[in-house]
Homo-oligomer: A and B are copies of this chain.
Amino acid sequence: MAFIDHIHACNRWDPADFIPFRVAGERLGLVRRRFADDLARLGRDFRLSSDQLYWATAPDGFDARTAAFRAICADLEGRGLVSHLHGERYPVTARNRADARFLIDRACAPYFGVRAFGQHLNGYVRTADGLAMWVPRRSASRRVFPNHWDNTVAGGLPFGVGLADNLRKECWEEAHMPAELADQAVAVGAVCYCRDSDRGLKPDLMYCYDLELPADFTPRCNDDEVEAFYLWPIEQVIETVRDTDQFKLNCNLVIIDFLIRHGLISQDDPDYLGLIQGLRAPLP
């Protein structure tokens, strides 16, 4: 295995499997052909035309559209066309979070190939032996990637909450980190990828943060999402990312970005160009 394998794994999708999802003249996502056929066959809200899926009954206005789509998703869940509802609302946008046209249940976003936004933080400590990173193990009960290693703090970005506020909230919920500490996180960029998942397509933008933690701070779980935190020497992080699939898939990318920014992946690595470009993949 090599670092670049994770880039490829996160960017696996075939454009031929998906068609545009259009609302009021805009392409807001991409839907799998099979799912588009299922929706059109219902003969209610969706219409297929020229190899594109249209939400034909979309009302005007953000709130009305959000309410109508909420009812549609509940119906689709009842019919088994979407696996479940999550409860959190994501913006439906072809660009930035601020340009949301309406909201969609987080679990339904990939079915419609809607752009997802998240925040991922690497908490590290400078020790006499070099860098060390706080690595949590996801609990066995998690729906996706149970028992896998994760970024120190990571979470999706619901609509209507600012980046700083949401980071503070996630830091507290996931690592029992007080706001004063969370606020010291440095925004260091973003990583993006697009992947064909079971449920559909996930074009994902992960805002990245580095947080240097004091040696006397120990993160601990505030909820049941994390089993325990471990402080790993950076060499162990490097080897586990490079040689295994033990990290949650997209977390590998956030760590590779960290390693590149900290000079921990050699610029002579033959994959270097592929890595730096691959961490900023085009989003459809």
Chain A contacts to B: CB under 8 angstroms: 95-96, 98, 162-163, 186-190, 192, 205, 207, 260-263, 267-268, 270, 272-273, 276-277, 279-280, 282-283
Contacts and interface: CB of A to CB of B under 8 A. Distances in A.
Contacts of A188: 260-263
A277 B192 contact: yes
A207 B267 contact: yes
A81 to B, nearest CB: 30
Interface of A is mostly: mixed
A277 B282 contact: yes
B267 A186 contact: no
A147 to B, nearest CB: 31
Contacts of A273: 95-96, 190, 192, 205, 283
Nearest to A281: B277
A186 B263 contact: yes
Contact of A272 (B190, B268, B277): B190
7 contacts: A95-B270, A96-B272, A188-B260, A188-B261, A277-B280, A279-B280, A280-B280
A279 B279 CA distance: 11
Contact of A189 (B192, B261, B270): B261
Nearest to A163: B267
A96 B272 CA distance: 9
Given A163-B268, A190-B276, A207-B267, 18 more contacts: A95-B270, A96-B270, A96-B273, A162-B268, A186-B262, A186-B263, A187-B263, A188-B262, A189-B260, A189-B261, A189-B276, A190-B273, A192-B273, A205-B273, A273-B283, A277-B280, A277-B282, A279-B280
